[in-house]
Structure 1
Amino acid sequence: MRKPTDVVLETEIGAKKLADAEVLGEKPLTGSRDDNHGGGPAPERINGRLAMIGFVATMAVELSSGQDVFTQISNGGVAVFVVTSVVLSVASLVPLLKGVSVQSKSKGIMTSDAELWNGRFAMLGLVGLAFTELVKGTPLV
């Protein structure tokens, strides 16, 4: 059974996490639906991580086997994508839900801003690769 002092302590810890997040300039996780849908810290970061993995994996398979993006997708790529998405999403959300900010882990050239920009470029790279191969009708490499 919870004691009233437990509730007060949990409230103080939660208030400190909110204050720390505001000082770091990030939107704090509140446990609401908005944390993962439109505007929270998770969606763009997770999509960027998936895009970075996807771009590197797509190019590696294309270089080694000569298969274009669409052939890779039709040869079992969807199943690999789903499994990778689930694992990466869970691995990304657990620290966020525990209150660990990405900015607090940023050091040197491995900053949270660099990760966001690399993810954005990887998303553009995947779309550009697919579009180019669709127009050309052959693998890019």
Structure 2
Amino acid sequence: MAASCYGVSSVLGRSPVDTRGGLNQLLGASNFVLPIKRNLKFRVRSSAEQNDETKEPAVAPPTPTPIPPKPKVSTDFFDVLAFSGPGPERINGRLAMTGFVAAIAVELASGRDIFAQVQNGGFPWFIFTSALLSVASLVPLFSGQTPESKAGAVMTSDAELWNGRFAMLGLLALAITEYIKGGALVSL
């Protein structure tokens, strides 16, 4: 009982000899004095720890399995340009980014909308730029490099895909807006 009173008094934060109430009044004792043990040593165990007698010998950790090398990237023409291959969306995104910036720059410089730009000599530039960027995008893919292997901290391959997607939508929105408006969207 003394140990339980000591435990309760330590939880309550009062000494068991406190005559102002507390544990003495709770137990109904008037001058009840508990022996206080000092220098108690506690041993903390986890619930999963076993007794010393039943401990099993330590088992050596398993050896890590070697990571298999990454499969070789296919450089076949039809694999690179397949619908889900690395080429089509990346090339279209790069062309759209270049086209959107060029269309806005020419509108700011000359005041012509995107349709007037194509009709007034822009079509050969479009063909030349498309061919140049397509070849420049396909050469690394045919040599076995992946876009992810050249990605940095800021310029990731996913960021390039998302920027290309937004540029495709922006170029389409620019063409539709200028068609409905009947003139350049941006003019000086």
**In the alignment, which residue of structure 2 is the partner of 1:84?**
129
- Displacement of 1:38: 1.3
Which of 80, 86, 96 is residue 35 of structure 1 equivalent to?
A: 80
- Displacement of 1:30: 4.2
Instruction: Determine which structure has more spread, i.e. the larger CA radius of gyration.
Output: 2
What fraction of aligned residue pairs are identical, expressed as a percent? 59
Which of 138, 144, 168 is residue 99 of structure 1 equivalent to?
A: 144
**Superposed CA offset, 1:69-121 (max 9, x none):** 00001011111111111111111111111111110110111000000000000
Is the counterpart of residue 51 in structure 1 residue 107 in structure 2?
A: no
**In the alignment, which residue of structure 2 is the partner of 1:19?**
71
* Structure 2: gaps (5+ residues): 1-68
Is the counterpart of residue 62 in structure 1 residue 107 in structure 2?
A: yes
* Structure 1: gaps (5+ residues): 1-15, 21-27
Instruction: Give the structure with the larger helix fraction.
Output: 1
Q: TM-score, length-normalised on structure 1?
A: 0.79
How far apart, CA to CA, are the structure 2 residues paired with 1:119 and 1:134?
Answer: 22
| Contact 1:29 1:40 survives alignment (8 Å) | no
| Contact 2:80 2:141 survives alignment (8 Å) | no
Report the more deviating stretch, 32-41 or 64-73: 32-41
| RMSD over aligned Cα atoms | 1.4
Aligned residues: 118
Where has structure 1 moved over 4 Å in runs of 4 or more? none
SS in structure 2 at match of 1:19 = coil
Q: Would the alpha carbon gap of residues 32 and 88 (structure 1) be closer, same or farther in structure 2, given more than 3 Å must change? A: closer
Q: TM-score, length-normalised on structure 2?
A: 0.60
**In the alignment, which residue of structure 1 is the partner of 2:11?**
none
- Displacement of 1:55: 0.2
Matches within 5 A, 1:90-129: 90-129=135-174
Larger RCO: Structure 1 or Structure 2 (Cα < 8 Å, ≥ 6 residues apart)? Answer: 1
